[in-house]
């Protein structure tokens, strides 16, 4: 499989990757201009930028690039002085451009008004948005034209299908406490480890629901990761204002900000 074929495959799966391309060479170098290497999230890769210690540094830069989504240009002088013990004698120079290929995935559990408002704003800022509900009429692109996908099914099945969801942003906005709990329990039992997990509701709702889930065996550490009340504290009241607060928090987490921990919210 070629580099670009694999890139398309990973993008369709919603998995991040990074593309490293030789953009400039001078003198004798093992890698030539336009040679490419595609790095997957697990550190495996396809293609080459010349091998050896240079490729090792490019690999590390690519992994960091996926974490911060910032492109970078790397410059290398291929000689024994800069890389002692490497055996490099060619003496050439290489520049490699590394860029992240990331399309963050947002899954909205529940197809009501809040989901619709979040979907609209999230798509505007670059998220791939999926709306899921257990009712056909609430999980449709006709109702949510700003979503990329709509999925219908029992909430627990929709949740389990996302595992491990390591790169996903998950927002729980179902029609009631029972369905919210169903989603959270299914996510935990499926071993999901989302990058962002939030649930709409008050502190009182969260306290009661989490107590019930702990009695059912759901790990307290998993529940502590749930952002609830969700969104940045801007005093939001309307569906649209809630969407602004939630999408702002999505951006904050995506760009490296941690946001508030659940314990701080409770305080």
Q: Are strands 149-152 and 128-133 parallel, antiparallel or unpaired?
A: parallel
Examine the pLDDT at 85 and tell me if it is beyond 50: yes
Question: Sheet containing 72-77: which strands, arranged edge to edge?
Answer: 45-47, 36-40, 17-26, 93-101, 72-77
- Architecture in CATH of 105-266: 3-Layer(aba) Sandwich (3.40)
Q: Which of 243, 246, 254, 208 is nearest to 227 (CA)?
A: 246
Quote the strand ranges of the chain, DSSP E: 17-26, 36-40, 45-47, 72-77, 93-101, 105-109, 128-133, 149-152, 168-172, 196-199
50: burial class by Cβ within 10 Å (0-12, 13-18, 19+)? Answer: buried
Alpha-carbon distance values, 24 to 34, 57, 116 (Å):
8, 17, 46
Alpha carbon distance 137, 107 (integer Å):
17
Determine the length of the chain: 267
- Which region among 67-81, 121-135, 140-154, 202-216 has the lowest average model confidence (pLDDT)? 67-81
Residue ranges of domains in the chain:
3-101, 105-266
Query: What would the mean pLDDT of 214-228 be, rounded to a whole number?
Result: 96
Q: Which of 63, 147, 66 is nearest to 107 (CA)?
A: 147
Higher pLDDT, residue 159 or 202 = 159
Query: What would the mean pLDDT of 194-212 be, rounded to a whole number?
Result: 94
């Amino acid at each position: 499989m070629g580099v670009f074929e694999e890139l398309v495959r990973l993008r369709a799966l919603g998995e991040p990757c990074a593309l490293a391309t030789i953009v400039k060479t001078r003198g004798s170098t093992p890698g030539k201009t336009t040679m490419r290497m595609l790095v997957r999230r697990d550190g495996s890769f396809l293609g080459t930028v010349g091998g050896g210690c240079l490729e090792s540094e490019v690999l590390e830069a690519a992994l960091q690039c996926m974490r911060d989504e910032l492109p970078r240009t790397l410059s290398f002088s291929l000689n024994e002085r800069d890389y002692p013990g490497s055996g490099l004698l060619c003496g050439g120079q290489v520049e490699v451009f590394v860029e992240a290929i990331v399309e963050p995935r947002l899954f909205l559990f529940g197809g009501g008004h809040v989901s619709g408002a979040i979907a609209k704003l999230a798509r505007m800022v670059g998220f791939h948005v999926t709306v899921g509900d257990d009712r056909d009429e609430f999980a449709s692109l006709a109702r949510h034209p700003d979503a990329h996908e709509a999925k219908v099914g029992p909430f627990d099945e929709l949740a389990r299908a996302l595992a491990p969801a390591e790169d996903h942003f998950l927002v729980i906005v179902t029609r009631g406490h029972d369905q919210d709990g169903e989603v959270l329990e299914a996510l935990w039992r499926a071993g999901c480890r989302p990058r962002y997990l939030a649930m709409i509701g008050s502190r009182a709702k969260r306290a009661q629901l989490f107590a019930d889930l702990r009695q059912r065996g759901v790990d307290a550490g998993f529940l502590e990761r749930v952002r609830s009340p969700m969104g940045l504290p801007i005093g939001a009241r309307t569906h649209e204002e809630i969407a602004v607060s939630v999408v702002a928090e999505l951006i904050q987490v995506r760009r490296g900000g941690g946001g508030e921990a659940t314990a701080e919210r409770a305080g």
